[in-house]
Structure 1
Amino acid sequence: MDTKSVHFLSLTFSLFFISKAAFTPQDNYLINCGSSTSNVAIDNRNFVRDSSKNGSNYLSKGKSISLTNPNPSSNSSLLQTTARVFTSASSYIFNIKKTGTHFVRLHFSPFTSQNYDLKNANFGVSANGLSLLSDFGANFNVLKEFILMVDKVELEILFTPVNDSSFAFVNGIEVFSAPKDFFIDASGMVLISPSGTQEFKQNISFQIFETVHRINVGGSKLTPFNDTLWRSWVPDEDFLVLKSAAKFARTSDPPNYQPGGATREIAPDNVYMTAQQMNVENGTSNFMFNVTWDFPVRSSTVDVHFVRLHFCDIVSVALNTLYFNVYINGITAYKDLDLSFLTSHRLASPYYIDFVVKSADNSDSIRISIGPSELSNSLRKNAILNGVEIMKIENSVPLPRKSKEKSIWVLVGSVIGGIFALSLAILAVLAMLKCIKREPKPKLKPKPRCIESRGWTPLRVYGVSTQGTLSEATALSSPGANGYYGLKIPFTDIQLATNNFDKDLIIGSGGFGMVYKGVFRDNTKVAVKRGIRGSRQGLPEFQTEITVLSKIRHRHLVSLVGYCEEQSEMILVYEYMDKGTLRSHLYGSVFTPLSWKQRLEICIGAARGIHYLHTGSARGIIHRDIKSTNILLDENYVAKVADFGLSRSGPCLNETHVSTALKGSFGYIDPEYFRRQQLTDKSDVYSFGVVLCEVLCARSAVDPMLDREQVNLAEWAVEWLKKGMIEQIVDPHLRGQIKPSSLKIFGETAEKCLAEYGVDRPTMGDVLWNLENALRIQVNERPQEIHEETIVGSVDLTTPRAILGAPSSSPRVGGDDNDGTSDITTSRVFSQLINRDGR
């Protein structure tokens, strides 16, 4: 079977999947201008005539006539056979059911009739007073597509001839609602200009876009019939600078869409099922080169373009093996792009990234390149691109009104504004008097979803912006008497603390965004985590982090100082941890290697924090993203668990697990959770077991550059632990430091944590107990009583310690009081641990 046949089958299968989930816009006007036929079917859509004596009449004002093409070609579309001609300013009016982003498409097909040659037309077009086209004329078939915000209940599209002797025309009009979140107003969108990169601070959804290019990279032409938003996509071959540098990539499998990534409305299946990649063969990929496309644009000193790049990893055979860079006009737009990370660790999962580009003066093209990252495996260097969209951001301004009319409205506005200001002042005085006379009524506590005796309960949202509301799935704690307002920090204060987000103050980055070091005016040092445009799942994580950390306090949990959600920002402010992440002290940095005693103390601190999460309330909290980069160290190397964006409430009293979609970090995810998508606190135990292996071996959880059997740290370490040869995998910096008994306890604890099934894993309380004993032995102290007459390796970590004779005294748990000042003592355990069925 030849390549074309394979591609045809791929296209056929993908069309089947598209047809199952067609998009239905709330507003949907399809107009066949100048036609006398009621309904015309085009691309499976019905276009109606624009004027009818007995039906709808979209024409609003002005002088117009209808024309019919006397000589249509055999392949002409039905939209090209008729036209509406305007000899004076004339408009169409469309009633809008749902305000928001809309597509507006104008079809122009000039033909010659007895009285008019449409190629001689010269006119302008505006939408609700905003200019779309000026001095426009068409010499051939043209489709003009605009995407704009419609914030009124009517949309007026006005056609205006440039002078009395000219005229305007149009053959077809489409007006329909865009999908929700087609454009997202999130902070951190990158503006790329000749001087470098900076943040684009305008709300993107309120711009007017004119489509310039829509490219199916590596694929064939797609017609509106193949797209849920009825768009056309053209092949990329004519835009490739060096065709021999690129190689086609195709798959017949439908894309693996994930929440937070792309959808079929962002781009159709066929775009994500084809791509261009670097043209290299296995074993010869040490060559460093880019694949480059040049897309012509009409640019001037004021032109700015919106660029949307589409990605779907259909070339990799394993996760975390594809790292590459993206360049726009020779400037690095995205460095070390890792699709595995951005798509929640799924291959063939669509994703898109948006940029705003200001080209050099009089530039006539936008150049896009992809090339391998320095992080790439030397034998697996590659880069991939699936689709490109380029839209001109129109610098549209309201069309001027007559001066008299403008003066009247200025006067009216001034009067109304004065009345409004006076009303506000009166209301403010009345409100103050009311507050003095009466005490506020206490808010009723929300009812819990589960039967609980105490602890954190689901909540209503207090003081959350219109960006969204906290769902029950993320509601983990009560906001307290003042809601979340007490944690709000003004954006100006954060700007001042970070020197307006100075790049020199960046101390880390992640899926949510950049992390900056900041200092408030009272000299309090903080870590500021600022959401970025690439993090489309940022809002739920932002809300969850606030919900969890606004209530719980513990010495070994990072404290939330506050948050900011002004100006479409999502910013979290934490206490500053001087020594950074645990990972940075284990490998890949210049820090002095930690001693074995330090490592044990850090593991014990982290275990205490996780143990408090699991047992501090009847339901507890499951962290769901335990890893060495989420364990931070303060100036005294005290460990604190951080990043609660993926946290979930534990199961209710009569439940064994929480059923939820897979979340976490590759290499740390509990295999049982991966298979069954059933989350328990034992999932955190598995992840912590991987951290213990990192601490012991000083290597990453996943390293694709190693031999196959060593890529996954947990699997590799367990093999050595089962052989009883733990000393073979210990960090060379620790050789000669560790007492055998201490090492044995540590190794067997890690092995038990990494058991395949959760029921075979210890609780975090058991883990904590054994780590403390490992430390006691290491520093020549007596081990805890349970182990005094027992060989360390013979203890079953899954057996409740009450049976083994552990002390029964229990410290205080739960609530606000446990802020770390009354931390868990090394010789005590929580009372819930005495009976394994306690939760």
Structure 2
Amino acid sequence: MAVVNFEFLIWVCSVFCLISVSVEFDPPDNYLIDCGSLKNTSVVNRVFMADDLNSRLLSTSQHIFVNTSSNSLSSTFASELYQTARILIGTSHFTFPIKKHARHWIRLYFFPFVHQNYNLSEANFSVSCQNFTLLRSSQLGIGPSIKEFSLNITSDNLVINFTPSADSFAFLNALEIVSVPDELIPGTVGTVDPPGYTQNLLHQALETIFRVNMGNKVVYPQNDTLSRFWVSDKPFLKDLNFVNFVSTADAVNYTSGGPSPEIAPSAVYRTASMLNSEFDPNTKANVTWFFSVDPGFEYLVRFHFCDFLSPNLTPGPLIFNVYINSWSVASNLDLSKQTSGILAAPYYMDVVTRASDNNKLSVSVGHSDVGNVYPNAILNGLEIMKINSSRGSLDASDSDIPHLQLSSKKKIGLIVASAAGALFILLVLSSVLFLKCMRRRKSSRVDINGVKVDDTGSIASASKAGYRFPLAAIQEVTENFSESLIIGIGGFGKVYKGVLKNETLVAVKRGSSYSQQGLAEFRTEIEMLSQFRHRHLVSLIGYCDEQNEMIIVYEFMGNGTLKNHLYGSGLPRLSWKQRLEICIGSARGLHYLHTGSAKAIIHRNVKSANILLDENFMAKVADFGLSKAGPEIDETHVSTAVKGSFGYLDPEYLTRQQLTEKSDVYSFGVVLFEILCGRPVVDPSLPREEVSLVEWAIKWRQMGRLEEIVDPLLAGHIKPESLSKFGETAEKCLVQRGSDRPTMGEVLWNLECTLQLQGGGGGSLNEKPELSLQTDDAKPLESSISTAQFSMGSARDIAGISMSRIFSEMMKAEMR
């Protein structure tokens, strides 16, 4: 019988593991062209084909090649490619057959040299591909440059269009069309400002703005398996006194399941910039880099980390914070947890941020708030990629994209003509509107306690559920949007606490000019809340759309968001019974949305941050800006673009873009585990197997050990049968196939049973579940809250109570 040499077996397995992570990516599509050159050009280990051999790929009116004898390029990387160029007269198209439908890099090389017949710096043109505007010649500097873009190609041909302006031309020194590894660019990424949202990158175009190697070292393409150029971080550092440049000669441990060399080469992970250890440990310092960016765009930011320092740190461990601008990306990041304790194992992290109106983006790493941790922090590499605007442009923000390239005289003439035309139209419209308002003045005014108020609005005029507030009144109740009154920040903008003259508290949500949500979401939220009134849906008080403002006024919810009572805010934590009551209330609100009208309403953004708690901790579902009407009777789903929040998205909706009520059920299942465990849905600071709450919780649930991961504050306070029923309900909500998930009504029933199994005295929700409808609309709001009953569709939950008295008092006070 043969004796197994286990040491040899382990060595063989190790070799195979190393081979598996070191095999270089072989791109299915790989076009390299030296434009204007009559011969092939070798650049390091790659060959750029002669331009005349690739003329079949180009449709152009003339074939014009130019060259330069400039000696200033001798120290420039790939200087050989900048010696020649192709001139493009008239609109020209490069067409490349594509073998694999996937994301591709488009790298364009430019050097505007002077030729005897053409001064390339005078070229005026634009470049586009797949309905995306990639760049305009105004973006080119005076020296050599490479513009790198990545697009998801879903057709058999990739077409790049060069469009010169009138009386001008385009040029190009070299180009690459190269397949991108599938794992390099994620499909969706969470946002950091504001947090809690998600950006779908699947069909977006990206432009690499910065690719930076920390540690003051340049990484050249020959040291990167994907031929990327990484510049040194030193020019971007805010203060060199706060940083030490460190490096190691040891190998990087690319592990199975972790980042591969395609994510970043070992040369990046072997160098780092770290917080200067010579500083007083009590000094709260950060290492900060500043980058110039175009305002108005969103950016994908990728952080690269590799801890090769821990054995030499005294005292350890290496735990630190990461920031973009003033937003927290990661708090108390412990790299050892992310890499399962493997030293020198790489780790990377993606977020999406918005540059707003600032042309600077700052990135910082700094000291942790964890006690007894020495203030160390590192960063190994950074990539910043611009995401196309809503109009498909990467070269200018929406408001800056010109439709035509005009001469100065033409621009002045257009401005004068436009101004005159606009003035004429304005006078006509003003006259028409004045006459119309005079005719409608009597019929469109209502008497509210003796005060005449116009109840017509530009958006919600059909509804009497909310009133249009004048901007002056909104400014008064929020003390002119005082920062001291901010009670929350979301994707739409900031939320302020306001006090009406009759001392009624309200929440005022003011849309930001750079909000990810816009007019469509503003209109949707008003329309939805105007149609539906329910005890467990937040109530609309009014809105304002003056002077381009988008403001919504709600009833004030004294205890804020459910999320803030679960973790991270320091607010009082909730008991198990309180949590169950909140689950039931939220489920009732969602059940009403799904069944309370002829066509279901799908919330599409169910998460703990959108469940608000009043002064009695009663739950109300909020934020209907993404809501959408459900499918018709003869349809199974609504086909629509993916919108929602990272970590809560229904995977079936995410992959197929097919929205159903079961998408809300999935998101609610995530919230249930969030409530049970008292932790974020996604937490990059935890070990890899714990990062995703859903995967982690389902794993422990299936092992029959769910009690081991509940919120420590609940330990010993949950009856086993109640916990079992709750876990079963949450898991059923999270099955992959939407058709296999329960309805929200079935979820509600199971949650009511969970509360019954828990038992315990007192409270408003401890009676036996019943299915009969109970009509009690005549009771005042306060009474109906305190006597809430279990029911699948209780009419008592429907806020049929007239709000006219409340509105009357508000408007009487505000419209004087």
User: Please, which of 801, 809, 829 is the counterpart of residue 792 of structure 2?
Assistant: 829
Give the 5 Å matches for 1:742-757: 742-757=722-737
Task: Name the structure 2 match of 1:690.
Answer: 670
Offset at residue 624 of structure 1 (A): 2.1
Relative to the length of structure 2, the TM-score reads 0.53
Change over 3 Å in CA distance of 1:550–1:722 after alignment to 2:
same
Matched, 1:463 2:458: yes
Equivalent runs, 1:774-785 vs 2, <5 Å:
774-780=754-760
CA distance in 2, matches of 1:214, 1:488: 54
**What does residue range 423-502 of structure 1 map to in structure 2 within 5 Å?**
431=436, 434-435=439-440, 463-464=458-459, 481=462, 487-502=467-482
Which segment drifts farther, 494-503 or 6-15? 6-15
C-alpha deviations, 1:397-446, integer Å up to 9, x for none?
A: xx999xxxxxxx9xx99xx999997x889867854674489999xxxxxx
Separation of aligned partners in 1, 2:506 and 2:382: 38
8 Å CA contact retained: 2:274, 2:378 = no
Q: Is the 8 A contact 1:336 1:375 kept in 2?
A: no
Alignment of 1:508 with 2:497, yes or no, is: no
For 2:689, the aligned partner's letter is E
Distance in 1, Cα, partners of 2:663 & 2:127? 46
- Residue 768 of structure 1: aligned partner: 748
Task: Give the match for residue 510 of structure 2.
Answer: 530
For residues 830 and 818 of structure 1, the distance between their equivalents in structure 2, rounded to whole angstroms, comes to: 19
* Aligned partner of 1:518 among 473, 478, 498: 498
After TM superposition, the structure 1 = structure 2 runs for residues 200-211 of structure 1, keeping only pairs within 5 Å, are none
Change (3 A) 1:375 1:672: farther
Which residue of 2 is the match for residue 729 of structure 1? Answer: 709
- Which residue does the alignment assign to 2:614? 634
2:565–2:573: 8 Å Cα contact kept in structure 1? Answer: yes
Residue identity opposite 1:463 in structure 2? S
C-alpha distance 651-386 of structure 1, shift in aligned 2 (>3 A): same
Q: Deviations over 1:440-459 (max 9, x none)?
A: 9xxxxxxxxxxxxxxxxxxx
Q: Which amino acid aligns with 1:581?
A: T
The answer on 1:370 being equivalent to 2:382 is no
Kept after mapping to 2: 8 A contact 1:228/1:268: no
Moved more, 566-575 or 580-589: 566-575
CA distance in 2, matches of 1:437, 1:529: 32
- Contact in 1 for aligned 2:303/2:379 (Cα 8 Å): no
Q: Deviations over 1:725-777 (max 9, x none)?
A: 33322322223333344334333333333334334433222222232333345
The amino acid of 1:553's aligned partner reads R
Please state whether the residue corresponding to 1:540 is helix, strand or coil: helix
d(CA) in 1 for partners of 2:369, 2:657: 31
Partner of 1:336: 329
1:282-297 equivalences under 5 Å are 287-288=274-275, 292=289
User: Does the 8 A contact of 1:685 with 1:763 survive in 2?
Assistant: yes
RMSD after superposition: 6.6
User: Pick from 614, 624, 636: which aligns with 2:594?
Assistant: 614
Whole-angstrom CA distance in 1 between matches of 2:518 and 2:438: 41
Structure 2 residue runs of 5 or longer lacking an equivalent are 1-23, 34-57, 71-81, 90-110, 151-158, 165-169, 189-197, 212-225, 234-245, 254-268, 276-285, 307-319, 332-347, 371-375, 387-393, 401-406, 410-415, 446-455, 796-816
Q: Aligned residue for 1:100? A: none
Secondary structure of 1:701's counterpart equals coil
Q: Does 1:550 align with 2:543?
A: no
Distance 1:229 1:463, change over 3 A: farther
Report the equivalent of 1:577.
557
Q: 1:352 to 1:606 in 2, by over 3 A?
A: closer
Alpha-carbon distance in structure 2 between the residues aligned to 1:829 and 1:174: 63
- 1:385 alignment partner, one of 383, 386, 397: 383
Cα distance in 2 for residues equivalent to 1:227 and 1:525:
57
Q: Distance in 2 between matches of 1:678 and 1:777?
A: 36
* CA apart distance, 1:596: 1.9
| TM superposition shift of 1:613 | 1.0
Query: Which amino acid in structure 2 is aligned with residue 481 of structure 1?
Result: A
Offset of residue 641 of structure 1: 0.9
Offset of residue 633 of structure 1: 0.8
Please give the residue correspondences for 1:312-351 in structure 2 after superposition, counting only pairs within 5 Å. 313=302, 325-326=323-324, 332=325, 336=329
Q: Which amino acid in structure 2 is aligned with residue 530 of structure 1? A: R
Rate the CA distance shift 1:629–1:212 in 2: closer, same or farther, 3 A: same
Q: Give the residue type in structure 2 aligned to 1:640.
A: K
Aligned equivalents of 1:681 and 1:782: distance in 2?
34
Q: Number of aligned residue pairs: give it.
A: 577
Contact 2:85-2:173 within 8 A present in 1 as well: no
Deviations along 1:308-353, whole A, 9 cap, x unmatched?
Answer: 6853659799xxxx99544xxxxx4765399xxxxxxxx9999784
Within 2, Cα distance between the matches of 1:216 and 1:615?
62
Secondary structure of residue in 2 paired with 1:541:
helix
Task: Judge conservation of contact 1:218–1:275 (CA < 8 Å) in 2.
Answer: no
> How do residues 671-710 of structure 1 correspond to structure 2 at under 5 angstroms?
671-710=651-690
CA distance in 2, matches of 1:756, 1:831: 30
Are residues 567 and 351 of structure 1, via their aligned partners in 2, closer, same or farther at CA, if it must alter by over 3 Å? Answer: farther
On the 8 A contact 2:60/2:88 being kept in 1, the answer is no
Return the offset for 1:572: 3.0
Residue of structure 1 in register with 2:541 after alignment? 561
Q: What corresponds to 1:712 in structure 2?
A: 692
Q: 1:772 to 1:782 in 2, by over 3 A?
A: farther
User: Contact conserved, 2:637 with 2:658, CA < 8 A, in 1?
Assistant: yes
SS in 1 for 2:510: strand
Q: Kindly indicate whether the alpha-carbon contact (under 8 Å) linking 1:372 and 1:383 is maintained by their aligned counterparts in 2.
A: no
Q: Return the match for 1:739 from 719, 733, 754.
A: 719
Give unmatched runs, 5+ long, in structure 1: 1-5, 16-42, 48-68, 82-106, 114-139, 144-170, 184-208, 236-248, 296-303, 327-331, 339-346, 359-366, 402-408, 441-460, 465-478, 789-805, 833-839
Classify 1:690/1:501 alpha carbon distance in 2 versus 1 (closer, same or farther; 3 Å): same
Query: Contact 2:125/2:162 (CA < 8 Å) preserved in 1?
Result: no
**Counterpart residue type for residue 828 of structure 1:** S
Deviation at 1:674, TM superposition (A): 3.7
CA distance in 1, matches of 2:783, 2:60: 68
1:551/1:509 CA distance change after superposition, 3 Å = same
d(CA) in 2 for partners of 1:672, 1:391? 34
Aligned position for 1:311 = 300
- Scaled by the length of structure 1, the TM-score of the pair is 0.52
Paired residues of 2:322 and 2:364 also in contact (CA < 8 A): yes
Specify the code of the residue in structure 1 equivalent to 2:462: A
CA–CA distance in 2 between the matches of 1:216 and 1:561? 58
Assess if the C-alpha contact under 8 Å between 1:556 and 1:606 holds in 2: yes
Secondary structure at the residue paired with 2:274? coil
2:531 aligns to what SS in structure 1?
coil
User: Equivalent pairs: percent with the same residue?
Assistant: 39
Task: Write the letter of the residue equivalent to 2:496.
Answer: Y
- For the Cα contact (< 8 Å) 1:511–1:535, is it kept in 2? yes
Q: Which amino acid aligns with 1:618?
A: A
The one-letter amino acid paired with 1:287 is: M
Contact 1:213–1:390 under 8 Å retained in 2: no
How far apart, in 2, do the equivalents of 1:672 and 1:80 lie?
46
**Alpha-carbon displacement from aligned partner over 1:507-564 (angstroms, at most 9, x marks no partner):** 2223333333333444333333333355445343333222211221111111223333
Counterpart Cα distance in 1 of 2:715 and 2:731:
20
Change in Cα spacing, 1:534 to 1:336, as seen in structure 2 (3 Å) is farther
State whether residues 323 and 383 of structure 1, in contact with CA within 8 Å, keep that contact through their aligned partners in structure 2.
Answer: no
